[in-house]
């Protein structure tokens, strides 16, 4: 059943296919081919939303992506989508739509009370209010009121895809100009990609009425489409909106699936690299600014024509028109032809084209020149307007719709995003791309050319020049479908913006954010005259429409108020995306499990079988601990594992440990430059612990370094540091010392590493078949051996991170899982226990071993952690050495690594607790450092930790006070080596 | 997204590279005064225009190289080896 505003015939809708939908629960009907907005208008729905601040009723303003008012929530549950623009969303059967930003309903909204106080709520009022007694008192209420629409809370169930494309010429927009541009490029042999945001090609041709010349718009679009399909390297993407232009001719676009494809993919995110980009994006009509220009039923004149011709919907039953340019006259002629009464056409120009006025008059349309609207009336729909023309007394005209045209402004966003600039065309009162950006060209209305015949000539010349820069040339003949009859150039556009002094507080420039002319005035009064300041202070152009129908008017008002010309005011920066993009499209398939590649240990399956509780450590899935029974708590498991490795033997998968081979005649010299410690003097077979610094002298990594032979070194780094240190080595070798003959190879993931640790570690290692002598005398602590173990090549380092006898065994990764199994098998009689990262960290904390990045921060130098002597003994330069003698690093009160032992109490303390010299009596109080690692030590049956304390090493035995989240405790300063200070257990 | 020409691998997306800051820094010897050393650590030209800088093809061949890039337009004017001298600007850009 067609709605009251649906014309009996015409339009590109399929009247044989009725669709049903609901709006705020109300059942309504439409046709296939409708958008939600056209269907709402057809049903006579005038109020579709509420303004952000004053909650005044809002109606559909436009017929495109620039829509500020008709933002509705579509769907329900996990697929609910807020702030959908009803003007571009196709109507589908069964659609559930709801208005936003209103309570209890869009027709009766309590928020309207704000409108009564509008004088107290100008731009920026919230910067001057809500302060006493405390902002946080108001915050919850304001957060509830702010925003448009509610996002779904369930995860998005739909699928999104990424696509990449390359082309020679990217044409954005498939209207009259874009079709010709794409055709010319394709005809010359270029690979062309044409993007069209709508579901049909043709752009403005889709809302032309009747023929243009001897052929219809429909004929033109059909034949253009056929000609394009015939070109071999032409690709056309429909329902695809270009949203961002980036460096080096990259453009991103969002493609929306047809309903039939939606189950497989909902949206595609395209990344396109082109050689040249053609903007055929058209122009946005601008609203007129006058008092009470925000009422439902007041629309863009071109949108009225769009709804009339494309959807067979009349915006009203008495449609008035107001304009500052020629284009509204065609709207009047089309309405007249469709039988819609037009009470008046108000032209703000003192002398509009005599020909147009004559044509309008003979069509029975009353035209007034030098006419300005002074007010409008109406509640949920406009009822009348008042205007004055040429000094005559004001008159009131009844109408139920008003089409306003403030001129057309090119859609140049992508041009500006790519760094291009705009120039002001005074004749057309619009901002046009300046043609200086090399790889871009704008055509048609996007270039400020608004008549079809002239536009086609402009396309021909622009494309000819563009193709020439690519050494392509082709015919410049215009196909029949692009041959338009001659039209006179349009008349000069009248004044933009608002210069009257009356009712500036009720004349809107931004309908969505409720920004009026008086708000711009206020910004100027407060000396915020830069366009960037005015934007942010008033929030004009900062809502979902991002200035598409608000920026130009705001600029004009600002220019007038500050006695400047529009070009001198300038524009604010254009940033992607051009229209809102759902995060799902940008994420593509990279969510959940696919957010980041997961690195698994070689013996992952074995760990899982043993009940490992996996966690992410630096991108690796590692056992935090192993749960022997399902109900074993993690803390209990960690304590059990620690006890086992201290008294018996434990086995640990250390495969993420960084392993870098450094080889060559100059390897020793090189490593001597990279480490604080002397590596040059290391003899083959020996291992030395070392610190690496950056040039500021700050510790960036630590680990052992083994010398395997004269020219072969085996460098271990922290697990997280492997990639970083490898890159670091490359930087110095390639950049500073390219003459050194050194080759570095990162073998971290090529080798599996398994650590056997504990008093019985040697028993287990000895039980494995090998060609190496692993007896106590033959293989002392801090040494390395190379040989074969269980028949596979291996390197063993006798080094310890637990404080017990320890062997780190590295074999090719493919043998990692079988070696783990062998070790577990031969370890059975010795009670071998697998242990995870948490008990390892607990063990090293008891032992006071450094954990770079936890026990050191961005300022920690070697002397701070007890390596001052190593620096002093080192001869020769190393990276960061010179920084260690800067005054800052010689201060006596620097944070130094100490151990801390809890005094009394049973409460554990946490890393991050502040260390204080005196008990905390009142804030503020100076801190003396902080706790960096902490644990409940089962070995020592105490809470112990490590910390950085001012002048800490001189304060052994002192008591310091800890503050941690409001809780206070105290601790004694001790040496970091809580457990086995003499190191006897390492030498068993 | 910039496209950078690795001298060894050819043109690649910028996501394959890591940025290495200003090029042609000369590391002072170990005996310089504090001022010279800290200037080497912290002072950099903040050029608007053609900037000589280092890049590493970290997700490719792992090699470092130098480049001339216009910091205002992101146009790359030259890539050259890490140890080469800074080349003159292409002739069409010399003013």
* Residue A695, pLDDT above cutoff 90: yes
| Chain B interface includes A790 (CB < 8 A) | no
Residues in B closer than 8 angstroms to A883, CB to CB, are 37, 41
Residue A270 above 80 pLDDT? yes
**Cβ-defined contact of B62 to A730 (cutoff 8 Å):** yes
CB contact under 8 A, B2 and A247: yes
| pLDDT over 80 at B94, yes or no | no
Do residue A247 and residue B1 have CB atoms under 8 angstroms apart? yes
Mean pLDDT of A70-76: 95
Q: Whole-angstrom Cα distance, residue A56 to residue A826?
A: 80
- The beta-carbon neighbor of A248 closest among B2, B40, B62 is B2
Say if A166 is an interface residue toward chain B (CB within 8 Å): no
Q: Would you call A882 and B56 a contact, using CB atoms and an 8 Å cutoff?
A: no
Give me the residues of A, 240-259, that contact B with CB < 8 A: 246-248, 250
What is the arithmetic mean of pLDDT over A134-142?
87
Phi, psi of A242 (to 5 degrees): -70, 130
Is pLDDT of A942 > 70?
Answer: yes
Chain A residues in contact with B19 (beta carbon < 8 A):
none
Within 8 A by CB and 6+ apart from B48, the residues are: B71, B72
Secondary structure, 3-state, B22-67: ECCCCCCCCCCCHHHHHHHHHCCCCCCCEEEEEEECCCCCCCEEEE
Interface test with B, best of A248, A272, A673, A728 (most B CBs within 10 A): A248
Nearest to A248 among B1, B18, B37 (CB): B1
Contact A427, A496 (CB under 8 A): no
CA distance A730 to A721: 14
Q: Which of B14, B63, B64 is the best residue to mutate to test the A interface, defined by the most A CB atoms within 10 Å of its own CB?
A: B64
Residues of chain B contacting A271 with CB distance shorter than 8 Å: 1
Across the interface, of A248, A419, A695, the residue whose CB is closest to B3 is: A248
Mean pLDDT along residues A341-355 = 95
Question: What DSSP line would sit under A934-956, residue for residue?
Answer: EEEETTTTEEEEEEEEETGGGGT
Q: In this structure, are strands A942-950 and A895-902 parallel, antiparallel, or unpaired?
A: antiparallel
User: Angle at the Cα of A744 (from A742 to A749), degrees rounded to 5?
Assistant: 165
Q: Is the pLDDT of residue B90 over 90?
A: no
Q: Which fold has domain B18-27+35-95?
A: Folate-binding fold (3.30.2270)
| Per-residue burial over A611-626, b = 16 or more CB atoms within 10 Å of its CB, e = otherwise | bbbbeebeebbbbbbb
* Strand duo A743-746 + A658-663: pairing: antiparallel
CB contact (8 A) between residue A419 and residue B62: no
With 0-12 / 13-18 / 19 or more C-beta atoms within 10 angstroms meaning exposed / middle / buried, residue A829 is exposed
Interior angle at CA A758, CA A754 and CA A759, nearest 5: 140
Separation between Cα atoms, residue A321 and residue A325, nearest integer Å:
11
How many Å apart are CA A194 and CA A667, to the nearest integer? Answer: 56
Is pLDDT of A523 > 70?
yes
Neighbours of A355 (CB within 10 A): 12
- For the whole model, what pTM was predicted? 0.90
Q: Where are the domains of chain B?
A: 18-27+35-95
Task: Write out chain A residues lying below 8 Å of B17, CB-based.
Answer: none
> Are B82 and A734 inside 8 Å of each other by CB?
yes
Residue B92 pLDDT > 70, yes or no?
no
A731/B64 Cβ within 8 A: yes
Structure confidence at residue A149 (pLDDT): 86
Residue found by looking up tokens 């005044």 in the block: A56
| CB contact residues (below 8 A), chain A span 727-746, against chain B | 727, 730-731, 734-736, 738
Q: Which of A762, A729, A758 is nearest to A659 (CA)?
A: A729
What sign for the dihedral angle of Cα B71, B75, B80, B84? negative
Whether A727 and B30 lie within 8 Å, measured CB to CB: no
- State the average pLDDT for chain A: 94
Return d(Cα A303, Cα A64) in angstroms, integer: 8
Nearest CA in chain B to A248: B2
Q: How many CB pairs under 8 A join A and B?
A: 50
Residue of B nearest to A877 (CA): B30
pLDDT in tens, A746-793: 999 999 999 999 999 999 999 999 999 999 999 999 999 999 999 999
**A335: closest CA among A3, A12, A10, A4?**
A10
Per-residue CA distances from A988 to A279, A660, A762, B33 (Å): 77, 29, 9, 49
Per-residue pLDDT tens for A362-388?
999 999 999 999 999 999 999 999 999
Q: What percent of chain A has pLDDT over 70?
A: 99
ipTM rounded to 2 decimals? 0.95
* A730/B56 touch (CB, cutoff 8 Å), yes or no: yes
Task: Show which residues on chain B lie within 8 Å of chain A, measured between beta carbons.
Answer: 1-3, 14, 18, 20, 27-28, 30, 32, 34, 37-38, 40-41, 54, 56, 58, 62-64, 73-74, 82-83
Rounded CA separation A217/A30 (Å): 24
Strand order in the sheet with B50-56: B18-22, B50-56, B64-70, B76-81
- Cα distance between residue A808 and residue A784, in whole Å: 9
Q: How far is A5 from chain B (nearest CA, A)?
A: 48
Who contacts A260 (Cβ-Cβ below 8 Å, separation ≥6)? none
Coil vs helix vs strand at A957: coil
Are the Cβ atoms of B1 and A246 closer than 8 angstroms?
yes
């Amino acid at each position: 059943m067609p709605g009251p505003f649906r014309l009996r015939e015409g339009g590109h809708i399929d009247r044989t296919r009725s669709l049903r939908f609901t709006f705020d629960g109300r059942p309504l009907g439409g046709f296939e081919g409708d958008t939600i907005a056209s269907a709402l208008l057809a049903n006579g729905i005038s109020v579709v939303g509420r303004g952000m601040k004053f909650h005044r009723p809002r109606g559909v303003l436009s017929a495109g992506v620039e829509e500020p008012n008709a933002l509705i929530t579509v769907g329900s549950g996990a697929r609910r989508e807020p702030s959908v623009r009803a003007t571009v969303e196709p109507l589908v059967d069964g659609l559930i739509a709801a208005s936003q930003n209103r309570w209890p309903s869009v027709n009766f909204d309590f928020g309207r009370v704000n409108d009564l106080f509008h004088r107290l709520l100008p731009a920026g009022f919230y910067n001057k209010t809500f302060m006493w007694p405390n902002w946080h008192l108001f915050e919850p209420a304001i957060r509830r009121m702010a925003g448009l629409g509610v996002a779904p809370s369930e995860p998005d169930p739909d699928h999104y895809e990424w696509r990449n494309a390359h082309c020679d010429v990217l044409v954005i927009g498939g209207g009259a100009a874009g079709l010709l541009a794409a055709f010319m490029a394709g005809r010359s042999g270029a690979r062309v990609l044409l993007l069209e945001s709508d579901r049909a090609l043709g752009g403005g041709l889709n809302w032309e009425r009747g023929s243009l010349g001897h052929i219809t718009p429909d004929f033109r679009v059909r034949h253009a489409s056929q000609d394009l399909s015939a070109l071999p390297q032409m690709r056309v993407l429909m329902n695809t909106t270009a949203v961002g232009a980036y460096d080096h001719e990259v453009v991103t676009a969002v493609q929306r699936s047809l309903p039939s494809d939606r189950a497989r993919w909902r949206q595609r995110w395209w990344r396109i690299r082109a050689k040249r980009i053609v903007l055929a994006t058209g122009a946005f009509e601008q609203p007129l600014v006058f008092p009470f220009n925000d009422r439902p039923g007041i629309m863009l004149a071109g949108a009225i024509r769009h709804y009339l011709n494309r959807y067979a919907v009349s915006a009203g039953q008495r449609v008035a028109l107001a304009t500052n340019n020629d284009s509204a006259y065609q709207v009047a002629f089309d309405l007249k032809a469709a039988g819609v009464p037009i009470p008046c056409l108000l032209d703000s120009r003192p002398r509009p084209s005599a020909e147009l006025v004559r044509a309008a008059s003979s069509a029975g349309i009353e035209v007034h020149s030098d006419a300005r609207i002074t007010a409008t009336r109406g509640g949920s729909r406009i009822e009348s307007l008042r205007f004055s023309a040429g000094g005559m007394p004001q008159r009131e005209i009844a109408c139920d719709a008003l089409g306003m045209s403030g001129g057309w402004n090119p859609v140049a966003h992508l041009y500006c995003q790519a760094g291009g600039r705009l120039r002001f065309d005074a004749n057309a009162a619009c901002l046009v791309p300046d043609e200086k950006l090399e790889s871009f060209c704008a055509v048609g209305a996007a270039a400020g050319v608004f008549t079809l015949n002239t536009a086609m000539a402009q396309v021909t010349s622009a494309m000819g020049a563009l193709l020439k820069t690519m050494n392509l040339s082709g015919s410049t003949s215009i196909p029949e479908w692009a041959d338009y009859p001659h039209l006179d150039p349009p008349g000069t556009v009248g004044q933009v913006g608002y210069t009257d002094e009356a009712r500036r507080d009720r004349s809107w420039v931004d309908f969505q954010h409720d920004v009026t002319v008086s708000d711009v005035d206020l910004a100027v009064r407060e000396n915020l005259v830069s366009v960037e300041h005015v934007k942010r202070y008033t929030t004009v152009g900062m809502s979902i429409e991002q200035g598409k129908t608000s920026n130009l008017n705001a600029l004009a008002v600002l220019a007038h108020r500050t006695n400047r010309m529009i070009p001198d005011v300038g524009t604010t920066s254009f940033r992607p995306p051009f229209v809102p993009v759902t995060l799902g499209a940008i994420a593509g398939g990279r969510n959940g499990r696919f957010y980041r590649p997961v690195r698994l240990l070689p013996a992952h399956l074995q760990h899982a079988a043993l009940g490992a509780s996996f966690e992410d450590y630096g991108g690796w899935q590692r056992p935090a601990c192993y749960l022997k029974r399902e109900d074993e708590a993690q803390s209990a498991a960690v304590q059990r594992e620690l006890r086992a490795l201290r008294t018996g033997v434990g086995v640990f998968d250390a495969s993420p440990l960084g392993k870098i081979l450094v080889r060559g005649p100059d390897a020793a010299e090189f490593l001597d430059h990279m480490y604080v410690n002397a590596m040059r003097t290391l003899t083959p077979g020996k291992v030395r612990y070392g610190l690496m610094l950056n040039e500021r002298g700050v510790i960036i990594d630590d680990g052992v370094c083994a010398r395997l032979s004269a020219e072969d070194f085996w460098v271990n780094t922290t697990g997280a540091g492997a990639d970083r240190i490898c890159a670091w080595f490359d930087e110095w070798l390639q950049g500073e010392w390219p003459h050194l003959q050194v080759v570095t190879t990162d073998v971290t993931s090529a080798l599996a590493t398994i650590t056997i640790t504990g008093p019985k570690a040697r028993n287990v290692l000895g039980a494995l078949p090998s060609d190496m002598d692993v007896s106590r005398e033959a293989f002392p602590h801090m040494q390395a051996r190379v040989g074969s173990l269980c028949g596979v090549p291996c390197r063993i380092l006798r080094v310890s991170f637990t404080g017990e006898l320890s062997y780190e065994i590295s074999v090719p990764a493919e043998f990692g899982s079988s070696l783990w199994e062998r070790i577990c098998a031969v370890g059975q009689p010795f009670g071998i226990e697998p242990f995870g990262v948490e008990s390892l960290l607990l063990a090293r904390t008891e032992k006071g071993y450094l954990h770079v990045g936890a026990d050191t921060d961005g300022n920690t130098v070697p002397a701070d952690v007890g390596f001052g002597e190593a620096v002093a003994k080192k001869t020769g330069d190393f990276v960061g050495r010179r920084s260690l003698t800067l005054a800052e690093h010689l201060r006596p009160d620097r944070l130094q690594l100490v151990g801390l032992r809890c005094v009394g109490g049973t409460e554990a303390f946490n890393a991050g607790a502040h260390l204080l010299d005196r008990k905390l009596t009142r804030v503020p109080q100076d801190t003396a450092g902080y706790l960096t690692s902490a644990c409940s030590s089962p070995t020592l049956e105490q809470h112990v930790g490590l910390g950085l304390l001012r002048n800490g090493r001189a304060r052994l035995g002192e008591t310091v006070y800890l503050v941690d989240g409001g809780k206070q405790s105290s601790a004694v300063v001790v040496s970091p080596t809580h457990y086995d200070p003499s190191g006897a257990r390492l030498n068993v | 997204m910039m496209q950078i020409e690795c001298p060894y691998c050819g043109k690649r997306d910028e996501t394959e590279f890591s940025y290495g800051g200003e090029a042609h820094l000369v590391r002072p010897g170990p005996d310089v005064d504090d001022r010279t050393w800290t200037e080497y650590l912290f002072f950099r030209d903040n050029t608007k225009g053609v900037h000589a800088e280092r890049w590493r093809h970290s997700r490719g061949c792992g090699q470092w190289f130098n480049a001339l890039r216009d910091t205002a337009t992101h146009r790359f004017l030259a890539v050259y080896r890490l140890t080469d001298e800074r080349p003159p600007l292409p002739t069409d850009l010399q003013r």
